[in-house]
Amino acid sequence: MLPFKLVYHDRYDLNLGPHVFPSQKFRLIHEMLLRERLATEEDFVRPDPAKDEDILRVHTFEWVQKLKTGTLTASDIMLLEVPYSPELVEAVWLAAGGTILAAQSALRDGFGSNLSGGFHHAHPGHGEGFCAIHDVAVAIRKLQADGAIKKAIVVDTDVHHGNGTAAIFRNDPAVFTLSIHQVNNYPAHKPPSSLDLNLDDRVEDEEYLGALIPAVQQTLDKFQPEILFYVGGADPYCEDQLGGLSLTKEGLKQRDRRVFEEARRRGIPVATTLAGGYAFRVEDTVRIHVNTILAAREAALAFPSASAARS
């Protein structure tokens, strides 16, 4: 068994049909973890959909109603870049509930991992870039409303800038947003995060880690968050269709493990979510996401629990 919980629901699939976003990856990650005996059924917990009151802490009433009633405009769908369906709405409400549950598990166990989420392009009043609901922001606001935390950090390693995250938390000193991304890539407009690490095209493992890890170390020491939300992008991979960086699978696993270790050293709980991944072979995307879980396990076993370290 793993020393922390994995959050998964069989209705995480966004029901996109043929699409560059491989939403079947959520199911495939679950299957790989079980098939390779990296996790057991007892390691998984099923989320409930996020409550509307939690969604509305981040998103506008108008946007929530559009999603729930299927009244998106052509412009809304163009920005969202995925077809609308009731299954899509169910999946993103479940993903938000899953990230809340992963964060609550992290506060208890030191780690918690949602096998969906990381929908970092969603804005309060619209969706963008395959992202309809910003699950990480919903989870942060839920924890704050419950009095479980005051300060949080988001470390976003998707190849694309976390523009929704930056926009939502722009004027909030209690949430630090760090985005490491390819600068010459989507989105065209990148509102400033608390810290943006803008990478040139074709950056490889060593240069990437040399930029990310010192920034994480310095930020954790200075900001001292009570939880770290990790948005684990598989799309910096060298064979990604929508990315232009050149990281290897091993480099990506090192990225994950080293960020997790920095948090564990400081007694900071970590809630992980997925993010983009568009490799030519979907198995590569799935493997990279599974490696994030393995990196969390390695960090959890190598260091005392974050909850114990904080007490």
Question: How do residues 269-302 score in pLDDT, each as one tens digit?
Answer: 999 999 999 999 999 999 999 999 999 999 999 9
Cα 62 from Cα 240, distance rounded (Å) = 35
Q: Is the pLDDT of residue 93 over 70?
A: yes
Q: Is the pLDDT of residue 310 over 60?
A: no
Q: Which of residues 26 and 14 earns the better pLDDT score? A: 26
According to DSSP, the β-strands at 270-274 and 111-114 are parallel
Instruction: Please state the rounded mean pLDDT for residues 170-187.
Output: 97
218-237 per-position pLDDT tens digit: 999 999 999 999 999 999 99
Name the percent of the chain lying above pLDDT 90.
95
CATH number of the domain where residue 99 is located: 3.40.800.20
Q: Is the pLDDT of residue 306 over 80?
A: no
- CA nearest neighbour of 120 among 57, 164, 174: 164
The DSSP-derived string for 4-30 is: SEEE--TT------S-SS-TTHHHHHH
198-212 per-position pLDDT tens digit: 999 999 999 999 999
In 110-204, which ranges are continuous DSSP H helix? 135-145, 163-168
Instruction: Please state the rounded mean pLDDT for residues 100-115.
Output: 98
pTM: 0.97
Radius of gyration of the chain (CA): 17
Q: Torsion angle, CA of 239/241/247/253, rounded to 10 degrees?
A: -90
Strand (E) positions, the chain?
A: 5-7, 44-45, 111-114, 152-156, 175-182, 195-199, 227-232, 270-274
Domain range for residue 288? Answer: 5-310
Please tell me the total count of domains within the chain. Answer: 1
Q: Is the pLDDT of residue 87 over 90?
A: yes
293, 273 in Cβ contact below 8 A? no
Model confidence at 18, pLDDT cuts 50, 70, 90, reads confident
Looking at residue 277, what is its pLDDT?
A: 97
